[in-house]
Amino acid sequence: MEISSLIKVARGEEPAELLLKNARVVNVFSGEIEETSIAITHSRVVGLGDYPAQRVMDLRGAYVCPGFIDAHVHIESAMVPPYEFARAVVPHGTTSVVVDPHEIANVFGVEGIRYMLEAAKYTPFSCYVMVPSCVPATHLETNGASLRWSDLTEFKSDPWVLGLGEMMNYPGVLFRDENVLDKLRAFADRPIDGHAPGVRGRDLEGYVAAGIGSDHESTTLDEAREKIRLGMYLMIREASNAHNLKALLPIITPKNARRCLFVTDDRFPNDLIDEGHIDFIVRTAIREGLDPITAIQIATLNASEYFGLRDRGAITPGRRADLVVFDDFKNFTIQKVFRGGQLVAENGKIISQEHEHPRPLLRNSMNVNWAKVDLRVPANGHTTARVIEIVPDQIVTRQSVDRIKVENGNAVADPSRDLLKMAVIERHHGTGNVGIAFVRGFKLKKGAIGSSVAHDSHNIIVAGANDEDMLYAARSIAAMQGGFVAVADGQVLARVPLPIAGLMSDQPLERVREEMDSINNATRGLGCDLRTPFMALSFLALPVIPELKLSDKGLVDVNKFDFVELLVD
């Protein structure tokens, strides 16, 4: 809207297009609740109070707050593209998301980033991108592409690109890897997100000195407090497999609340449908005792200011009319959602849009050299092995050493002791690389489960009670161009096809949720009691989160940031 026209309407010289009357407006600047009306013209709030308007909508005393901003999310984890993700989260009040397309970039590189930008067009939310900083995430695995600083700077001219995504390679920062430093230098004038689990003391000071402004990996109050003290924005995460909200809420005080943001990071379809999105975090925070206006401020204004999105995040003249109408602070039920002054969702349902969502195409991402894939592990006289220990509801693992079962000279799974075998099979370049490990925590009595979602390089990952079912699961994944499978006795019990980069479905979110329910039930039938077994499986391949992880190149001790032998004396 041209500025002179905006001023005319704001002064009451011309009528507004829409007046939302009888509203209780959450003022995130002053911390007050104002009983007033909201005047809107051409996507903008033009004033608060009684204005002449072409249309009037009576909100009958409902509360209104700014649209929610998810400050860090990997849409790929919802297993649907941006246009389908928007349909899921907008009815929950999310009008802006800041996406790190790290997952698809590790499969397709620049092509993957462009896909996400294109697939986000004409959706009922604003989809901003932080370009991935760690593709590949480390030298310890094989991924589908490599992005240097020069590949990333071409995106700086795109208005939907805000800065540099989570810098997971904190050892590369601390030990001054020139490839890492080049990326930090190239985006020194933009927000740079961090990813520094457990990094403390002088290492953290060096990390912050590099210009990194936020972190979403804190799990303890001491860690979170140290990061806030050093000037970082604390991204408080509530994901499907990393529940940090309740543990970190006590860190929030009136003095530091403006340094906190809410993020979902990775959230599965069932949680989006059953619980919600940022609204779930706000609702939970309020129920746990956080001041309601502070909770809303964290979900709106704080994120807008950190990312420099100063046209949103508050209800005030000149800002976008991204608005959430809700009943009260106790139930926090979202009634209406406006984006740019247009009603885009009501009573939990999206309102159909005029534009057809673009559905850009990608090539098949499965390239496995099956002739080289061998899951056998010769024991060679060893009787013990390192074991990856799953920590329920967390993406960190523990490591232990346990005796192994040996058959015909090979180390094999022993489901009677919850000692399963797992493998990561390279799927991008046909190298034939296979990493083998043992894992405890799935409790499968028989069969195997597998996935092409394996953070961050997204090779095929399988875990099971025997080699035959593990290999069958891996081949089944490749045959459907990616996805999840549960198998037993050479039969597929359930599957979730993910043909878009092996990460996302081409089906509606509700269909994906039904398929996930089916495969989770099948997995439970095999003996697993984890709440999100496939998310737990996917993070066992992430060699930047302690302690012990597996890549296609071998077993990784993350604390040492190096490979270790599977079999030990």
User: Tokens in use for 524?
Assistant: 């439970």
Name the least confident of 85-89, 98-102, 304-308, 354-358: 354-358
pLDDT tens digits along 262-292: 999 999 999 999 999 999 999 999 999 999 9
Same structural domain for residues 426 and 537? yes
Asked if residue 59 belongs to a domain, the reply is no
Asked if residue 152 belongs to a domain, the reply is yes
pLDDT tens digits along 325-336: 999 999 999 999
| Predicted pLDDT at 355 | 56
User: Tokens in use for 479?
Assistant: 């045959």
* Whether pLDDT at 353 is above 80: no
Within 8 A by CB and 6+ apart from 425, the residues are: 368, 373, 433, 434, 459, 460, 461, 462, 474, 552
Same structural domain for residues 129 and 270? yes
User: What angle do the packed helices 110-119 and 82-89 form, to 10 degrees?
Assistant: 40
Number of Cβ within a 10 Å radius of residue 155: 16
- Spatial separation of the C-alpha atoms in residues 167 and 183, rounded to whole Å: 10
Asked if residue 16 belongs to a domain, the reply is no
Number of domains observed in the structure of the chain = 2
- Spatial separation of the C-alpha atoms in residues 218 and 199, rounded to whole Å: 9
Asked if residue 320 belongs to a domain, the reply is no
Same structural domain for residues 295 and 379? no
Would you say 144 and 457 are in contact if contact means Cβ atoms under 8 Å apart?
yes
Q: How many residues does the chain have?
A: 569
Residue at a domain's end among 313, 334, 355: 313
Same structural domain for residues 450 and 548? yes
Asked if residue 305 belongs to a domain, the reply is yes
Instruction: Provide the domain limits for residue 141.
Output: 67-313
Same structural domain for residues 165 and 238? yes
Within 8 A by CB and 6+ apart from 2, the residues are: none
Asked if residue 351 belongs to a domain, the reply is no
Q: Which residue in 452, 494, 486 sits closest to 365, CA to CA?
A: 452
Same structural domain for residues 174 and 247? yes
Would you say 316 and 54 are in contact if contact means Cβ atoms under 8 Å apart?
no
- Spatial separation of the C-alpha atoms in residues 211 and 195, rounded to whole Å: 13
| Predicted pLDDT at 171 | 86
| Predicted pLDDT at 1 | 67
Average pLDDT score over residue span 102-115: 97
State the DSSP H helix or E strand holding residue 468, giving kind and residue range, or none if neither. helix 467-479
Q: Phi/psi of residue 548, each to 5°?
A: -120, 125
Would you say 415 and 444 are in contact if contact means Cβ atoms under 8 Å apart?
yes
- What CATH number did the domain enclosing 281 receive? 3.20.20.140
Asked if residue 332 belongs to a domain, the reply is no
Asked if residue 465 belongs to a domain, the reply is yes
Same structural domain for residues 306 and 383? no
Average of per-residue pLDDT values in the chain: 96
pLDDT tens digits along 490-544: 999 999 999 999 999 999 999 999 999 999 999 999 999 998 899 899 999 999 8
Same structural domain for residues 379 and 309? no
Residue at a domain's end among 296, 313, 330: 313
Residue with tokens 């991935």: 132
User: Is the backbone of residue 389 left (phi > 0), alpha (psi -120 to 50) or beta?
Assistant: beta
Same structural domain for residues 530 and 437? yes
pLDDT tens digits along 28-82: 999 999 999 999 999 999 999 999 999 999 999 999 999 999 999 999 999 999 9
Same structural domain for residues 302 and 379? no
Would you say 382 and 435 are in contact if contact means Cβ atoms under 8 Å apart?
no
Same structural domain for residues 150 and 230? yes
* Whether pLDDT at 354 is above 60: no
Same structural domain for residues 386 and 245? no
